[in-house]
Chain A
Amino acid sequence: MEKAEWLSQVRKGILEYSILLMIKNKSIYGYELITAMNRHDVLSTTEGTLYPLLKRLEKEELITATWKETTPGVPPRKYYDLTTEGCSVLDMMNREWDCLISAIVQIKSEEECVSDE
């Protein structure tokens, strides 16, 4: 399996999770979000994926948007925040994420034991 193919499969679910995490930290607008995301090579994504994804999260009422005028001459920014529902979904994701990681860690350690024998 190609690295790119595997990463794109894994990223699909994680992208939503990381977006919610970033929005939880502070109100954030699209350009800032994608710039922050692309700082991590493994999470880097395209605008064409990210913006529609934000729209979906907004429709699902996990995030909510406010338009803010900032710099003169620049069109207003659309800032995102988590809704109450978004917060509880994120809490659920945090718990499941920990379970997922410990499951993987456990599987890997078992494998090591087998290879040690």
Chain B
Amino acid sequence: MNEFQLKEIEAYLKKVSDGLYQLPDSERNEILGEIRNHIHEAVDMQEPVQAVIDKLGPPQKLAQSYVNIHYINRSNMSFSGVLNNMVFFLSAGLSSLIIVPTLISFILLFLLIASASISVGILGLFTDLPSNTGIMIGSEEPLTGFTALIAGLILCVIFFLLSYLSWKLLKIYAIFISRRYQKLRMGK
């Protein structure tokens, strides 16, 4: 078998693998191993690679047949299965209703404060700011010139980081929910 043939085979297997992404790693590897062996056996019997691949059919379709079997066997319509589903969708639905909008408003709010801080800082370079702005660095005097700019920059960075943190939290939450959902579908 030459390198070009091997590449062709692996490219096909990669597409099948992509279609099996929902399956646990061990199961996916087992399926790919069997198909890989099939192609090699056939090519050893002088069948052209492309003909063997054509007979296996479109990779997405082959993968889908495996995925269907996976879920048919795990269809969890018992009482506890239905209960598990209900608990998941109710809890995920309710928590998302609160957590997602809260995190999104945090992201936007912090971004707004960050841009306001930097704008005020730049403004302070040219004009005197109101006297109460000094409170931010514990001073009675109003901020002026470079002090204003630096204070504005620092505040901008802090609020930007807070906004970024909220974004991260939102991502972690989304990943957490989708993992739980996948586990539920796998019947674990």
Question: Which residues does A use to contact B, with CB under 8 Å?
Answer: 29-32, 34, 46-49, 51-52, 55-56, 59-60, 67, 71, 73-78
The answer to whether B61 and A76 have CB atoms under 8 Å apart is no
Interface stretch among B28-36, B98-106, B144-152?
B28-36
The answer to whether B56 and A47 have CB atoms under 8 Å apart is yes
Of residues 33 to 77 in B, which have CB atoms within 8 Å of A's CB atoms? 33-38, 40-42, 44, 55-57, 61-62, 65-66, 68-70, 72-73
Residues of chain A with a CB closer than 8 A to B31's CB = 51, 55
The answer to whether B34 and A78 have CB atoms under 8 Å apart is yes
Residue on B nearest A48 in the bound complex, by CB: B57
The answer to whether B40 and A75 have CB atoms under 8 Å apart is yes
Given A55-B66, A55-B69, A59-B69, residue A75 in contact with residue B57 (CB < 8 A): no
The answer to whether A47 and B37 have CB atoms under 8 Å apart is no
What is the bound-complex CA distance between A30 and B69, given in angstroms?
18
Residues of chain A with a CB closer than 8 A to B37's CB = 29-31, 74-78
The answer to whether A75 and B33 have CB atoms under 8 Å apart is yes
- Given A31-B38, A47-B56, A48-B57: 17 more A-B contacts, CB < 8 Å: A30-B38, A48-B55, A49-B65, A51-B38, A51-B66, A52-B62, A52-B65, A52-B66, A55-B69, A56-B69, A59-B69, A60-B73, A67-B33, A74-B41, A77-B41, A78-B30, A78-B34
What is the bound-complex CA distance between A52 and B65, given in angstroms?
6
What is the bound-complex CA distance between A49 and B1, given in angstroms?
26
Residues of chain B with a CB closer than 8 A to A34's CB = 38
Residues of chain A with a CB closer than 8 A to B55's CB = 46-48
What is the bound-complex CA distance between A103 and B68, given in angstroms?
35
Pairs A–B under 8 Å by Cβ, sample size 21 = A29-B37, A30-B37, A31-B38, A31-B42, A47-B56, A48-B56, A48-B61, A48-B62, A49-B65, A51-B66, A52-B65, A52-B66, A55-B31, A55-B69, A59-B69, A73-B1, A74-B37, A74-B40, A75-B36, A75-B37, A78-B30
